[in-house]
Structure 1
Amino acid sequence: MLDILSAGTAGSAPGWTGFLPIVGMIAIFWFLIIRPQMRQQKEHKAKIASVKKGDQVVTAGGIVGKVVKVDDDYAEVDIAQGVRVKVIKQTIGDVVPPGGKPAND
């Protein structure tokens, strides 16, 4: 009788194996979602830090303009002749390369 009980418990899997699917899902989320998003944020910060006078930018709101003045936190953008707006640098969505045009044009 004792051999039957011990044989039943010896064939069962350890308790920690129930966590393996959860660990696997976390690893999949890390490599497919979190890590690429962190890389994009890092590239965006580098792009924003390199904004200089004369660059053509697109804001997060879709406004296209030319940078006239850059501070630590703000940038003045000329969006039309004689119309300048002061934007927070973090709201700049993209820097348009010279000679290029924004994606929505």
Structure 2
Amino acid sequence: MFISNAYAQTAGAADASMMGNLSTFVPLILMFVVMYFLMIRPQQKRAKEQKAMMDALAKGDEVVTVGGILGRVSRVTDAFVTVEVAPNTEIVVQKSAVTTLLPKGTLKGL
């Protein structure tokens, strides 16, 4: 008389609520996937190419530094590169300061 009847829910109702919760996270997951392919992955690829270029530096390569200095590599050590910017004028820069490896013959006056 004072106690009402209690009925158990069916399994279908629990699945529907679970799908509702999952569908709220789908746009968020999709946004992270798009961000990975548009921002993170290309940056990792560029970093890998830059590291390979720094490891492949050799004497006689023509390079551009971060500061825009063009020169020919005259000596390479583990962390530093000596760049000849003019006849009898050399500067020492870090390997990470070398941004671009130029094609051979670009610097004809040096």
State the TM-score, normalized to the length of structure 2: 0.77
Q: Distance in 1 between matches of 2:47 and 2:103?
A: 19
In the alignment, residue 50 of structure 2 is paired with which amino acid?
H
| Long gaps (5+) in structure 2 | 1-8
Q: Which residue of 1 aligns with 2:28?
A: 22
Identify which of 70, 73, 82 aligns with 2:76.
70
Deviation digits for residues 73-98 of structure 1, max 9, x if unmatched?
Answer: 00000111221110000110011011
Larger Rg, first or second structure (1 or 2): 2
1:46 aligns with 2:52: yes
Percent identity, aligned pairs only, is 37
What is the aligned partner in structure 1 of residue 43 from structure 2?
37
Question: What RMSD over aligned residues (CA atoms) do the two structures have, in Å?
Answer: 1.7
Paired residues, what number?
93
- Structure 1 residues without counterparts, runs of 5 or longer: 1-5
> How many Å apart are 1:31 and its aligned residue?
0.8
**DSSP 3-state at the match of 1:99:** coil
Question: What is the CA–CA distance in structure 1 between the aligned matches of 2:21 and 2:61, rounded to whole Å?
Answer: 59
CA distance in 1, matches of 2:105, 2:88: 22
Report how far residue 14 of structure 1 moved: 2.1
What is the aligned partner in structure 1 of residue 85 from structure 2? Answer: 79
- Structure 1 length-normalised TM: 0.81
